[in-house]
């Protein structure tokens, strides 16, 4: 009767034979066209996403130095009032906005129109305010309405008021949500692709500590400690699982570059915009995980052919999502939905660059060092 060791050895031989039968012959190198250039110049192509990331970081830095914020905050994050005014006749939005801005130079005032089937049906006026006083907000509301009546005929309007402290609280909570989402996303990726058990346990403990600690972080020292934990986690990922670090870097790059583009377009981000960035984390990680699984968890065909196979599936997924986001942006009349769709649309286009140039290039470099080609 066969011993346990003999049975295990027999099962291993059967498994090796099965995998050998399933292996695909290594595909020949592409001879011409884009795939030839992509195959031969992938190291050179790596400079493109890193240069874009550097420019995005520079834009965000300039934005923070000039305005005190790294993004353009909307009223829901900054505090102020939002007026919705139904109208019957079309209005020159830009001229009316300049008129109101001249009347209220101390308030960051913006005006936009809501249209249905090409016809203006309402105006939305956003005016920021740094004052918590109800009387001051009421005076601003009445002043804006009185000034608007000089240019536009209307009977009724609705108003929504958000205090500066409440807006700051919303902003703080949403930033914490984004930070925790990144922490947990990075941990899941590392647990899947990492190979060192002790490093996985250390990453799990550090991630849980950072996730729970952020809710009580209010001082500079607390945020500094969280930053140190994040750096330690990043070093764990880099040293014990470079493919995991590449996935996390690609997702982070998507968010940073998308934010820089949104800033350049002058889009004022509200709570809906922050929700769009949270959605974008999931969208960007999808294609990166697909690429890493295809290259690292499958055998046969060579690393480059597996990258091309993942690219066919991943680009199809991205184009489908881009099409859906574009339709949502063009068709929807809700400003909230339009902002979400626009941010997701920009992020998905950016993701194509960082997945198939940055992440794929890093994985090929790592595969060469491990002699996986």
Residue 22 lies in a domain: no
Please indicate, yes or no, whether residues 37 and 87 belong to a single structural domain of this protein. Answer: no
Question: Rg for the chain (alpha carbons), in Å?
Answer: 26
Please indicate, yes or no, whether residues 233 and 356 belong to a single structural domain of this protein. Answer: yes
Residue 203 lies in a domain: yes
Please indicate, yes or no, whether residues 195 and 131 belong to a single structural domain of this protein. Answer: no
Please indicate, yes or no, whether residues 204 and 307 belong to a single structural domain of this protein. Answer: yes
CA distance 189 to 229: 17
pTM score of the predicted model: 0.81
- Give me the helices (H) in the chain, please: 4-22, 33-40, 42-45, 47-67, 75-78, 93-103, 134-149, 164-193, 197-213, 220-240, 242-264, 271-296, 303-331, 335-353, 360-369
CA distance 255 to 233: 19
CATH number at residue 217: 1.20.1640.10
Please indicate, yes or no, whether residues 118 and 203 belong to a single structural domain of this protein. Answer: no
Give the SS3 label for residue 159: strand
- Phi/psi region, residue 364 (left: phi>0; alpha: psi -120 to 50; beta: rest), is alpha
64 is written with which tokens? 């923070």
CATH number at residue 139: 3.30.70.260
Please indicate, yes or no, whether residues 64 and 109 belong to a single structural domain of this protein. Answer: no
Q: Which of 162, 185, 219 is a domain's end point?
A: 162
Please indicate, yes or no, whether residues 239 and 357 belong to a single structural domain of this protein. Answer: yes
Strands 109-116 vs 158-162: parallel, antiparallel or unpaired = unpaired
User: What pLDDT sits at residue 296?
Assistant: 82
Number of domains in the chain: 2
Given a cut of 90, whether residue 50 has pLDDT beyond it is yes
Residue-wise pLDDT tens digits, 71-129: 888 777 777 788 888 888 888 888 888 888 888 887 778 888 887 777 788 888 888 77
User: What pLDDT sits at residue 40?
Assistant: 83
User: What pLDDT sits at residue 22?
Assistant: 46
Range of the domain at 53: 33-73+166-369
Please indicate, yes or no, whether residues 196 and 335 belong to a single structural domain of this protein. Answer: yes
Residue 7 lies in a domain: no
User: What pLDDT sits at residue 26?
Assistant: 47
Give the confidence band of 14 by pLDDT, cuts at 50, 70, 90: low
Please indicate, yes or no, whether residues 55 and 155 belong to a single structural domain of this protein. Answer: no
CA distance 354 to 301: 24
Cβ-contact 211, 180 below 8 angstroms: yes
User: What pLDDT sits at residue 57?
Assistant: 94
Kindly state the average pLDDT of the residues 145-171: 80
User: What pLDDT sits at residue 204?
Assistant: 92
User: What pLDDT sits at residue 10?
Assistant: 64
CA distance 161 to 159: 7
Residue 23 lies in a domain: no
Residue 171 lies in a domain: yes
Residue 191 lies in a domain: yes
User: What pLDDT sits at residue 25?
Assistant: 46
User: What pLDDT sits at residue 139?
Assistant: 83
Given a cut of 70, whether residue 226 has pLDDT beyond it is yes
Kindly state the average pLDDT of the residues 52-62: 94
150 is written with which tokens? 């000089």
Strands 80-86 vs 158-162: parallel, antiparallel or unpaired = antiparallel
User: What pLDDT sits at residue 19?
Assistant: 47
Residue 306 lies in a domain: yes
Given a cut of 90, whether residue 257 has pLDDT beyond it is yes
Give the confidence band of 258 by pLDDT, cuts at 50, 70, 90: very high
Given a cut of 70, whether residue 373 has pLDDT beyond it is no
CA distance 256 to 61: 11
Q: Which of 143, 162, 181 is a domain's end point?
A: 162
Q: What does DSSP assign to residue 28?
A: P
Please indicate, yes or no, whether residues 217 and 325 belong to a single structural domain of this protein. Answer: yes
Give the confidence band of 140 by pLDDT, cuts at 50, 70, 90: confident
Output the CA torsion sign for 282, 288, 289, 290. Answer: positive
CA distance 280 to 346: 10
How far from 204 is each of 75, 127, 237, CA to CA, in Å? 37, 44, 12
Cβ-contact 125, 110 below 8 angstroms: yes
Q: Which of 131, 162, 193 is a domain's end point?
A: 162
Give the confidence band of 259 by pLDDT, cuts at 50, 70, 90: very high
Best-predicted range by mean pLDDT (165-169, 260-264, 279-283): 260-264
User: What pLDDT sits at residue 24?
Assistant: 44
CA distance 29 to 368: 16
Given a cut of 50, whether residue 282 has pLDDT beyond it is yes
Residue-wise pLDDT tens digits, 288-326: 888 888 888 777 677 888 888 889 999 999 999 999 999
Residue 303 lies in a domain: yes
Who contacts 317 (Cβ-Cβ below 8 Å, separation ≥6)? 286, 287, 290
Please indicate, yes or no, whether residues 136 and 170 belong to a single structural domain of this protein. Answer: no
Kindly state the average pLDDT of the residues 167-190: 83
User: What pLDDT sits at residue 196?
Assistant: 86
Other C-beta atoms lying within 10 Å of the C-beta of residue 215: 10
Per the prediction, the chain carries an average pLDDT of: 83
Greater pLDDT, 203 or 29: 203
Could you give phi then psi for residue 84, rounded to 5 degrees? -115, 120
Give the confidence band of 279 by pLDDT, cuts at 50, 70, 90: confident
User: What pLDDT sits at residue 6?
Assistant: 65
Please indicate, yes or no, whether residues 187 and 302 belong to a single structural domain of this protein. Answer: yes
93-102, 167-176, 259-268, 280-289: least confident range:
167-176
């Amino acid at each position: 009767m066969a011993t346990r060791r003999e049975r295990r050895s027999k099962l291993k031989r059967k498994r090796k034979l099965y995998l050998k039968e399933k292996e695909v012959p290594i595909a020949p190198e592409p001879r011409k066209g884009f795939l030839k250039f992509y195959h031969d110049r992938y190291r050179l192509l790596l400079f493109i996403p890193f240069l874009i990331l550097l420019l995005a970081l520079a834009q965000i830095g300039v934005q923070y130095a000039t305005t005190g914020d790294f993004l353009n905050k909307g009223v829901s994050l900054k505090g102020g009032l939002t007026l919705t005014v139904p109208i019957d006749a079309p209005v020159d939005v830009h001229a009316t906005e300049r008129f109101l801005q001249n009347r209220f130079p101390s308030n960051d005032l913006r005006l936009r129109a809501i249209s249905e089937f090409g016809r203006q049906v309402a105006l939305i006026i956003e005016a920021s305010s740094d004052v918590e006083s109800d009387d001051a907000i009421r005076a601003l509301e009445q002043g804006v309405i009185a000034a608007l009546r000089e240019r536009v005929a209307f009977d009724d309007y609705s108003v929504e008021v958000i205090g500066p402290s409440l807006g700051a609280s919303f902003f703080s909570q949403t930033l914490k949500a984004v930070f925790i989402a990144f922490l947990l996303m990075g941990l899941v990726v590392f647990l899947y692709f990492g190979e060192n058990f002790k490093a996985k346990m250390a990453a799990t403990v550090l991630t849980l500590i950072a996730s729970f600690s952020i809710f009580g972080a209010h001082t500079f020292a607390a945020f500094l400690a969280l930053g140190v934990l994040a750096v330690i986690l990043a070093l764990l990922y880099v040293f014990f699982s470079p493919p995991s670090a590449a996935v996390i870097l690609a997702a982070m790059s998507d968010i940073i570059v998308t934010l820089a583009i949104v800033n350049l377009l002058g889009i004022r981000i509200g709570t809906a915009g922050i929700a769009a960035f949270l959605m974008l984390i999931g969208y960007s990680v999808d294609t990166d995980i697909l690429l890493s699984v295809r290259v690292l968890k499958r055998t046969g065909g060579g690393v480059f052919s597996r990258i091309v196979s993942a690219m066919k599936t991943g680009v199809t997924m991205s184009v489908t999502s881009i099409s859906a986001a574009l339709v949502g942006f063009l068709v929807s009349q809700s400003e909230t939905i339009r902002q979400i769709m626009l941010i997701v649309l920009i992020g998905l286009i950016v993701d194509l660059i960082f997945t198939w140039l940055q992440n794929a290039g890093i994985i090929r470099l790592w595969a060469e060092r491990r002699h996986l080609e």
